Amino acid sequence: MINLKGYNFLFGKKAVSPVIGTILMVAVTVIMAAIVGGFVYQTARPKVPPAMSSSLADDPRQAVGGAGDQRIAKLSWEGGKNLLLTEVRALVTYTDNASAEQTVVQNATSWSEASGGAPMDTNKIELQWVDSDGSDDISPGDRLDFYEGTAATAVVKANRDFTVKIIHIPTEALVADYTIRVY
**pLDDT at residue 147, as a whole number:** 86
The three-state (H, E, C) secondary structure of 84-148, written as one string? EHHHEEEEEEEEECCCCEEEEEEEHHHCECCCCCEECCCCCCEEEEECCCCCCEECCCCEEEEEC
CATH class of segment(s) 52-182 = mainly beta
pLDDT at 65: 57
pLDDT of residue 166: 94
pLDDT tens, residue order, the chain (183 aa): 566 565 555 555 666 678 888 999 999 999 999 988 877 777 656 778 888 899 999 877 665 655 556 788 999 999 999 999 899 999 999 998 888 898 888 888 888 776 666 777 778 888 888 888 888 889 999 999 988 877 877 888 888 999 999 999 999 999 999 999 988
Domain boundaries, the chain: 1-45, 52-182
